């Protein structure tokens, strides 16, 4: 699947089959995050892949709107060194992984990390160094539901040329 098709096909999924995701597929998804755009080429990120049921359950219980992580096949925690542009860099890495997952036939859902009260607890649970911040959690799995993605606003509504 090409990049534009993957972007069009990708949508948030919160219900997953119990099927595991092969390690090589997870590595390809993380590789897409590693290759993201980054301010000043700082590449402040680190990625923690969680696949064990106990870890997924703990992370799901710790979040406020990510309880479904407990049922996902995997979760990737996107952590970044606390640099000037950590949030932008980590968000770019997260989006790359969402698109890569779609291209590989894996569904995903971005769960907020930064600015959430639970972020320090998840960093501690994952053993992150104190200078790292949780940017996002990416729940991954094979879809357990068949539903279309959310409708998007039309280009006519949001595209402006030269001025708003």
Domain boundaries, the chain: 3-158
pLDDT reading at 29 higher than 80: yes
Q: Kindly tell me if the per-residue pLDDT of 147 is higher than 70.
A: no
- On average, the pLDDT of the chain sits at 94
> Token pair of 118, please?
């639970």
What token pair was written down for 37?
A: 């755009």
Q: What is the mean pLDDT of residues 25-32?
A: 98
Q: Are 119 and 112 in contact (CB under 8 A)?
A: no
Alpha carbon distances (Å) from 144 to 17, 73, 141: 5, 11, 9
Nearest of 103, 101, 53, 105 to residue 78 by alpha carbon? 101
Class of domain 3-158: alpha beta
pLDDT band at 148 (very low <50, low <70, confident <90, very high): low
Arithmetic mean of pLDDT, 90-118: 97
Task: List all residues 6 or more positions away from 134 whose beta carbon is below 8 Å from its beta carbon.
Answer: 77, 78, 79, 113, 114, 116, 119, 120, 122, 123, 128
pLDDT beyond 70 at 79: yes
Global pTM? 0.93
Confidence of residue 153 (pLDDT cuts 50, 70, 90): confident
């Amino acid at each position: 699947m090409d990049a534009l098709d993957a972007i069009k096909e990708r949508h948030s999924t919160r219900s997953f089959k119990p099927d595991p995701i092969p390690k090589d597929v997870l590595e390809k998804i993380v590789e897409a995050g590693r290759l993201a755009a980054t301010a000043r080429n700082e590449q402040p990120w680190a990625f923690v892949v969680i696949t064990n049921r106990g870890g997924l359950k703990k992370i799901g219980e710790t979040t406020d709107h990510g309880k479904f992580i407990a049922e996902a096949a995997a979760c990737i925690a996107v952590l970044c060194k606390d640099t000037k542009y950590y949030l932008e860099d980590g968000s770019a890495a997260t989006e790359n992984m969402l698109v890569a997952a779609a291209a590989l036939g894996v569904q995903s859902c971005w769960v907020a990390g930064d600015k959430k009260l639970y972020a320090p607890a998840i960093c501690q649970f994952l053993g992150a160094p104190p200078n790292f911040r949780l940017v996002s959690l990416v729940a991954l799995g094979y879809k357990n539901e068949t539903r279309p993605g959310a409708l998007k606003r039309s280009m006519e509504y949001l595209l402006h040329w030269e001025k708003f």
